[in-house]
């Protein structure tokens, strides 16, 4: 298995632009999580899905952020419009309810200038 695959690895965009981050979870995993990591705030859970259904989006900072999971093998996190304070590393992770721990992707480093 190739693990959790995130794209792009790096994204530099101008303030006000729309940004879409992508994630392919491990096949067979029924949970998918989106995290944001910054020096100031550490690792923050933004939203998670179970069987493609959003369960808890209380960590989504504001309406500019949205996430979808149209099927079991794909999820997106969209920021529109982007702001410099959104600059961070965004991680996707997946897990199977019968096993322990998450498998994390390598992350997307987002820089908004």
Partner 1 sequence: GEDVEQSLFLSVREGDSSVINCTYTDSSSTYLYWYKQEPGAGLQLLTYIFSNMDMKQDQRLTVLLNKKDKHLSLRIADTQTGDSAIYFCAERGAGGGNKLTFGTGTQLKVEL
Least Cβ distance, residue 78 to partner 1 (angstroms): 21
Exactly one of 56, 80, 84, 85 binds partner 1 (CB under 8 A); that residue is 56
25 binds partner 1 (CB under 8 A): no
By CB under 8 A, name the one of 7, 45, 57, 68 that touches partner 1: 45
Q: Residue count at the site for partner 1 (CB under 8 A)?
A: 21
CA distances (Å), 51 to each of 12, 74, 90, in order? 31, 11, 21
| Environment class of 89 (CB within 10 Å of its CB; exposed 0-12, middle 13-18, buried 19+) | middle
Choices 15-23, 65-73, 74-82, 94-102; region in contact with partner 1 by CB under 8 A: 94-102
DSSP code at position 72: T
Concatenated DSSP letters of 95-106: E-TTSSS-EE--
The residues of the shown chain that bind partner 1, judged by CB under 8 A, are 4, 31, 42-43, 45, 48, 50, 55-56, 91, 93, 95, 97, 100-107
């Amino acid at each position: 298995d190739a693990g959790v695959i995130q794209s792009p690895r790096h994204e530099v965009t101008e303030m006000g632009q729309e940004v879409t981050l992508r994630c392919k979870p491990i096949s067979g995993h029924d949970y998918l999580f989106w995290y944001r990591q910054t020096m100031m705030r550490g690792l923050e859970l933004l939203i998670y899905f179970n069987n493609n259904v959003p369960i808890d989006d209380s960590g989504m900072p504001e309406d500019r952020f949205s996430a979808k999971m149209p099927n079991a093998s794909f999820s997106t996190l969209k920021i529109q419009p982007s702001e410099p304070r959104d600059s961070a590393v965004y991680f996707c992770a997946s897990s199977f309810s019968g096993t322990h721990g998450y498998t994390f992707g390598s992350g997307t480093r987002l820089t908004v200038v």
